[in-house]
Chains A and B, each alone.
Chain A
Amino acid sequence: MSVKVRIPAPLQKLTSNKSEVEVEAATIKELVESLEKVYPGIKGRICDESGKIRRFINFYVNDEDVRFLKGDDTVLKDADQVSIIPAIAGGAGENRK
């Protein structure tokens, strides 16, 4: 299955600044592995030590959050659009105390 994946700004350093990449994967779990093969280091940013998707990063298949589908076992279809969306802060530019 070839799917397009939107890469959020904080992870684009690892994808040579590309905001969208295409990978082969049948599930979200496979998608993370496929990304890691092409862009080493990205899995460590997406998943915690136990391999689970971090709790401030969401995966969407089209516009559905996979946490409310089948998590990282969610099955992908051809032409699905996957988005990785992390929590972002930034705004005020306050000084850290």
Chain B
Amino acid sequence: MILNEQQIDRYSRQIILPHVGGKGQDKILNAKVLIVGTGGLGAPCAFYLAAAGIGKIGLVDSDKVELNNLQRQILHTTADVGIPKAESGKKRITALNPDINVVTHNLRLTSQNALELIKNYDIVVDGTDNFPTRFLINDACVMGGRPLVHAGIFRFDGQIMTIMPKSGPCYRCLFPEPPPPGLVPSCQEGGILGAVAGILGVLQANEVLKFVLGIGDLLIGKLLIFDALSSSFRTVKVPRDNECAVCSDHATITELLDYQQQACQIRRDEK
């Protein structure tokens, strides 16, 4: 693809980067990224990816914009309250960068549609807010062979890790199973500072761009932890679990499951 003059101008500040150039910009313009959830994480992630020129961005969200979303979900505006988030996200992205092909998936990710959805994209971003969907996305990306950038936030804490199925550890290698309902407070109960969501969402965008450009080191095999109160980052090692229920040679989960109903019953066989 040959960049037109407007594109050269629009992307000039990243094209001049030693690791990007015209070739890198071309990779970005041809990349296809699926963002699951257009909330606190997905919104800033999508916004930066759109600004960078990611060619195709899929937005998955079944919710409508609410006023209490706007404190952190910067893809949506006051005028969008009541309209589907995926549509509102598309509107804002298109206004920022008309180059982008935004595909809206106004639905909830389930075991029935997950594999079909992710196969049309190069990499997946997890911007969801609940454990059942997080584990479903992880399992789908492992089975479908799609890289995944995971992040989670709670109050002033954030976590991010990039998953390269089969070659690196997956989310289940880190946490084998979701907490039973009720044991961990949700975002609604716990609260979140918008800027913390922004930091993690933008880190996710950074991982995606490095993956697309093939530069730097991705957060594979390590979990990056952010503590907003001390403004500090640290990483811990995440080895591959030889007994992982989904990505090891001894996988016991070979088909996708909807955890909504079953999160409590899923148990890996005790060794």
Q: Which one of B40, B66, B152, B234 lies within 8 Å of A87 (CB-CB)?
A: B152
A-B contact count (CB 8 A): 135
Residues in B whose Cβ lies below 8 Å from that of A55: 175-177, 268
A interface, how many residues as a size bin? Answer: 20 to 34
Q: Which residues, 68 to 91 on B, are CB-close (under 8 Å) to A?
A: 68-69, 72-73
Interface centre among B42, B174, B236 (most CB of A within 10 A): B236
Indicate if B37 sits at the interface (CB-CB under 8 A).
Answer: yes
A87–B178 touching, CB < 8 Å: yes
B interface, how many residues as a size bin? Answer: 35 or more
Residues in A whose Cβ lies below 8 Å from that of B155: 9-10
A85–B128 touching, CB < 8 Å: no
Question: Given A8-B154, A45-B183, A63-B237, list of 15 further CB < 8 A pairs?
Answer: A19-B229, A54-B179, A56-B179, A58-B174, A63-B236, A67-B241, A68-B239, A85-B236, A87-B131, A89-B154, A90-B190, A91-B151, A91-B153, A93-B72, A94-B129
Residues of B within 8 A of A (CB): 37-42, 61-63, 66, 68-69, 72-73, 108, 127-131, 134, 151-157, 159, 174-179, 183-188, 190, 192, 197, 200, 223, 225, 227, 229-230, 234-239, 241, 268
- Can you pick out 7 interface pairs between chain A and chain B where the beta carbons lie within 8 Å of each other? A63-B234, A87-B152, A89-B186, A91-B151, A93-B40, A93-B73, A97-B108
